[in-house]
Homo-oligomer: A and B are copies of this chain.
Amino acid sequence: MSKLGSAPTLDDVAKLAGVSTATVSRCLNNPGQVVEATRLRVQSAVDALGYMPNFAARVMAAKRSSTIGAIIPTMENAIFARGLQAFQEELHQHGYTLLVSSSAYEPEIEEEQIKTLVARGADGLLLIGHDRHPRIYENLERWKIPALVAWSYLPDAQLPCIGFDNRAAMAELANHVIGLGHTRIGVISGISAGNDRARLRINGIQDAASQHGLDPSDLTIIETPYEIENGASAFSEVMSQNIPPTAVLCGNDVLAVGALHRAMEMGLNVPRDISITGFDDIELARIATPALTTVHVPHREMGRRAASALIGMLENQASGHGNPLATHIVERQSLGPPPDA
């Protein structure tokens, strides 16, 4: 059937091997159903022709794609890379392929990407965080696409989720900081609008403040996109107050590294003059100078669990619900007691 110059099709293979297309299809997908001799014959036809199954045709006929889509806020920093890597490895072991796209932290782009992935036949979706337009959840339901949220655990969330308690994790760190004697605290957060992780981390700091009798509204909070540069500018800003803080808690390691760098430029010694902390524990945190005290998030474990949960939802109508993952503080060199202590 193939007009010269087109890629060979199942038909071509079938013809060459002298069998029906059904048999070729079975050789490729369920070799067990086909007798050895036939399988070999078909295989050599495939090789001779350099045949590649057409994915679109397969998806159409089979009505599943064995593909999972993931939309992450950004590929530009390492935050999601590790978890996604584990996610993908686990999927691969179960015969699924991962398609990744990024939303640049823009809700509209995320919505578009979700549509694209669904249109492309994704059997399931991995989303980051819970904050998004309700319409998206309605559509997901309408299209009957199983979806799972990662990087944020919320007990009563709309969608099943695999993640950790951002609020409690940050509260733990903030408690520790306050426990060291810090009372004037600056916060450099990611943009919290549409980002529950960022918002909950701020809430965690506020929780810790109240708990220690500090007024949460005394916290200086600056929100800025997750980029090193922005961490630096925000640090300048937070330090430019009449009475600057003695500790600056950052919403993630990327911002913290920017802050650290700016502190050094300003001639401040960290942690003697000022303490700075991060969140996530990416590689950058270890090699920063001084090494960053931060909250370790089990990214790989999270990715792996997310994959299992999603596959469970796809194959066994499992609910996808699980327990939150534990985080812990990694103490390195960027946090110390306040200067006057």
A48 CB to nearest chain B CB (Å): 11
A261 is an interface residue with CB less than 8 A from chain B: yes
Given contacts A115-B52, A287-B258, contact A76 B76 (CB under 8 A): no
Report the minimal beta-carbon distance from A7 to chain B, rounded to whole angstroms.
5
A64 CA to B120 CA, complexed, in Å: 13
Answer yes or no: A139 CB below 8 A from chain B CBs.
Answer: yes
Cα A116 to Cα B67 in complex, Å, equals 11
One complex includes copies of this chain to the number of 2
A52 to B120 alpha-carbon distance, docked (Å): 10
Neighbouring B residues of A340 by C-beta, 8 Å? none
Contact present for B85 and A143 (CB under 8 Å): no
Within 8 A of B (CB), among A102-145: 115-116, 118-121, 139, 142-144
Q: A-side binding surface: helix, strand, loop or mixed? A: helix
A253 to B: closest C-beta gap in Å: 12
Segment at the B interface, from A54-62, A175-183, A198-206, A210-218: A54-62
- Known contacts A7-B143, A54-B121, A55-B116; can you find 18 more A-B pairs with CB under 8 A? A7-B144, A50-B139, A50-B143, A54-B119, A55-B56, A55-B119, A56-B57, A56-B59, A56-B60, A56-B120, A56-B121, A75-B85, A76-B81, A76-B82, A77-B78, A97-B116, A228-B287, A264-B289
- Cβ contacts A to B, 18 pairs, < 8 Å: A6-B144, A7-B143, A7-B144, A50-B139, A52-B119, A54-B60, A55-B56, A55-B120, A55-B121, A56-B56, A56-B120, A75-B75, A75-B81, A76-B78, A76-B82, A76-B85, A261-B289, A289-B289
